[in-house]
Structure 1
Amino acid sequence: MPPLEAVATDGDAHAPPLLPEPVPQALVGFCVVHADQLPLERRASITSVFRNIPRPSRLMQHLAAVDLLSEASAARLVELIAAEPVIAGKLLSAVNSPLYGLQTPVASVAQAVTFLGLTQVRTICLRYALMQSFAQEAPERQAMLDRVWQSSALACEMAQVMTHTLSIRDPGAVGSAVLLSFLGRLAVTATTPTRLLTATDQPDHLGRTRAEQDLLGVGSCEVGRLLMRDWDLPEPIIASACDAADWLAQPAVSSDPGRAETLALTYLCARLGERLASGALPSLQSLDLLSEDSADFFHLRQSLSPSRLTRWAAALRAPALSARLGRLQSASFRGY
């Protein structure tokens, strides 16, 4: 296990982690298989399986890469979204939905940015840009995809609030990473024969990843890595979305404490979004990160200091976030 400094910053730098616990039996001997560990031919074979998924518009690349700290880039983002009528229309529908409770209707992309901020607008548009690649006519498969979309929507909402509450650096990057971390699962759900999908329909992330590796050779997150490379997304964006998955089997290693923290938060939001969508977690109010005994969170708990886990848990249990997630769960995620 890497030193605590890999994930601790500010006042946490010298805070002790939780008392060491034995690795859960379910994790003993388990490792995340990375796409780059596979022979080149095997990687090409996996990529070819998912190549029939329609390539997203170039807007998605801009949404994933745009620098939200630049006013010029903000203006460019508004221009790019406005040039995509379908995405712009879905954005306005989402912004004017009951989820946000705006008193005055929003009539333009620029107004949406003013009311919600660049980070939220980018995440919403990025989701709709991806949706264009995963539309399904078969009701059964669409229902499966809907569950993944709901997981991602809830996870992104958590990331949006958490990055603001905890003053996480580069909140836009975290939101994009959380959403793109679901890409591989969407691809697997959209293309794998339904009789085989049953084997990967596990209640926990560890069980699902193990089943996916048995079926495909890699987990869905690594499928997402290969698909994003095939779509020519920049490698740093791919790494931000996919490296967080390593928290399942080992603490994320980074010489940059800020990046290690965002990887941990990306992983946490993604897993909690899945649990809320499946009903395994009734609400965030019942979550206690310090005593959470799932193998999915073992390395996260053991590597982050108790003070940090306490702050994160308090932010997750904030009534405003719970209310927001409740409205999101009761609404159609496609229109928020």
Structure 2
Amino acid sequence: MIEQRLPQLHPFAELSDRARDKLLQHARTMTVDPGFKLHARDEFRSMIFLLEGRMILASGRNSVMLKGDSSEALNPLFDAHDYHSHAIAATRSTLAMLDRKVYETLIDGGGQDSVEVSEIELSDLEGELFSSIYTHAYSGELALPQLPEVALHLQRALKDPDVSIAEATRIIEEDPSVAGRLLSVANSPAMGSRRVVSRLQDAVARLGLERTRQLVMALAMHQVFIHRDNPYHELLERLWRRSARIAAVSCVLADQCEAADPQSALLAGLLHRVGALPVIAEVARTHPDRTPGEVERVLFRLEGLIGELVAQQWDLASDIIEAIRDSGGPENPEAHALTDIVRIARAACPRDAEDDLLSDRIPLTDLRAVERLGFILDEDGNLPASETARQEVEALIREVA
């Protein structure tokens, strides 16, 4: 169906037959039931068209009914920089999803065509995985990672404004590994105190309950990422190491610009790729023979969406959920400062040779958030703010990694 419809769709009228064939290699269709919902903010990588059925398009208080056989359906459901609209299937409907980056590469032309397309190309099997995980995520059938018990118990306890430091300490003592690491953090140079505390309760008092909650979450996350029995454990460990570096840079940047709480930035940085966990678990369950490179291409498209689901299940703060969902996507001038800080940290953090080349590809010079938060780049396009705090960054990495 999409092959016959493609030449009629407005953005693609000027493409050559060869370019349309290339675009079709990255296209997929999906049939959805009434009530299925799409958010523009989650679909920025795709151009979505209604082929059959009816969808309700809503933006703010305005909504319209779109029919698959109407002239209006020749346009994408969402514009490229739409962060607020959503669409709901009113009947059983068929959608076509085309890769926006491939389209932009094709119309730009030039020498980078083969590089851009090869970086984001999905094989048939990868497309199958993408479609399966995407559908399961929206239907609520995707197995999401569980928060470690110590972090879960502390999250619940701290919803009570009258919870005591002693009670919080008893919960943390349920996990000796996290308790030991928390004590180490409380005694670290970053805390600015020369008096060593040896009791966990004193460490919690020094840190404060909110900072303790965030650090317990951060320290417990290592247990979520590292699974030796997973065939992709090396990929998971690499994701964790890079997340720890980005978290440390985020914390330092937040402290320097004073636009967000540094500990919230640390947590958001650690969790910004938490959406990779259920995706990797699903691939390991269904196709454990896939290469890490193939898995990373699927992650590139899915982890923001899945990360939001995980963060909501864990009852995280809304600004951290936004950072997980949006820090890897296009800039939104209305984004929370925490999202911009993690976005800048992702671009500023040096890569190891084996790091995923698909993630964090936006140069610092292309980020308006750099100027918006008051940072200045040097003549080479680097961020001196992160370089001058290298020792602090390294100390933070040792504490959470």
TM-score by length of 1: 0.59
Q: In the aligned structure 1, how far is the partner of 2:235 from the partner of 2:351?
A: 15
Return the index of the structure with the highest Cα Rg: 2
Pick aligned residue for 1:196 from 268, 290, 307: 290
Q: Which moved more, 1:72-81 or 1:171-180?
A: 72-81
Aligned CA distance change for structure 1 residues 198 and 114 (closer, same or farther; 3 Å): same
Pick aligned residue for 2:299 from 194, 198, 212: 212
Q: How does 1:126-141 map to 2 (within 5 A)?
A: 126-138=217-229, 141=232
Corresponding position: 1:305 with 2:371: yes
CA displacement at 1:224 relative to structure 2: 1.4
Unaligned runs of 5+ in 2: 1-79, 82-107, 121-130
2:340 corresponds to:
264
1:50 corresponds to:
143
Contact 1:119 1:175 in 2 (8 A): no
Aligned CA distance change for structure 1 residues 54 and 75 (closer, same or farther; 3 Å): closer
Q: Which moved more, 1:161-170 or 1:129-138?
A: 129-138
Q: In the aligned structure 2, how far is the partner of 1:138 from the partner of 1:148?
A: 16
Pick aligned residue for 2:234 from 114, 133, 143: 143
After superposing on structure 2, the runs of 4+ consecutive aligned residues of structure 1 that deviate more than 6 Å are 38-41, 64-67, 97-102
Q: In the aligned structure 2, how far is the partner of 1:101 from the partner of 1:49?
A: 43
CA displacement at 1:265 relative to structure 2: 0.7
Aligned CA distance change for structure 1 residues 41 and 190 (closer, same or farther; 3 Å): closer
Alignment RMSD (CA, Å) = 4.6
Q: How many residues align?
A: 267
1:316 corresponds to:
386
Deviations 1:183-228 (A, max 9, x none): 1123434553353352247xxxxxx5x5435xxxx42122211233
Q: How does 1:56-135 map to 2 (within 5 A)?
A: 56-57=148-149, 59-60=151-152, 63=155, 76=164, 79-85=167-173, 86=175, 87-96=178-187, 104-113=195-204, 121-135=212-226
Q: In the aligned structure 1, how far is the partner of 2:363 from the partner of 2:390?
A: 21
1:16 corresponds to:
none
Q: In the aligned structure 2, how far is the partner of 1:152 from the partner of 1:309?
A: 22
SS at match of 1:138: coil
2:268 corresponds to:
177
Deviations 1:127-179 (A, max 9, x none): 23333444423386443322222222222222222222211234443333222
TM-score by length of 2: 0.51
Q: In the aligned structure 1, how far is the partner of 2:168 from the partner of 2:353?
A: 35
Q: In the aligned structure 2, how far is the partner of 1:328 from the partner of 1:278?
A: 22
Q: In the aligned structure 2, how far is the partner of 1:232 from the partner of 1:316?
A: 30
Q: In the aligned structure 2, how far is the partner of 1:233 from the partner of 1:307?
A: 28
Query: 1:212 corresponds to which letter in structure 2?
Result: L
SS at match of 1:162: helix
Structure with higher strand content: 2
Query: 1:195 corresponds to which letter in structure 2?
Result: D
Contact 2:307 2:325 in 1 (8 A): no
Aligned CA distance change for structure 1 residues 328 and 58 (closer, same or farther; 3 Å): closer
Corresponding position: 1:233 with 2:233: no
Q: In the aligned structure 2, how far is the partner of 1:163 from the partner of 1:272?
A: 14
Aligned CA distance change for structure 1 residues 122 and 83 (closer, same or farther; 3 Å): closer
CA displacement at 1:310 relative to structure 2: 0.3
Q: How does 1:25-44 map to 2 (within 5 A)?
A: 26=116, 42-44=135-137
CA displacement at 1:126 relative to structure 2: 0.8
CA displacement at 1:322 relative to structure 2: 0.8
Query: 2:172 corresponds to which letter in structure 1?
Result: E
CA displacement at 1:251 relative to structure 2: 1.6
Q: In the aligned structure 2, how far is the partner of 1:295 from the partner of 1:305?
A: 19
Contact 2:273 2:307 in 1 (8 A): yes
SS at match of 1:183: coil
Contact 2:165 2:204 in 1 (8 A): no
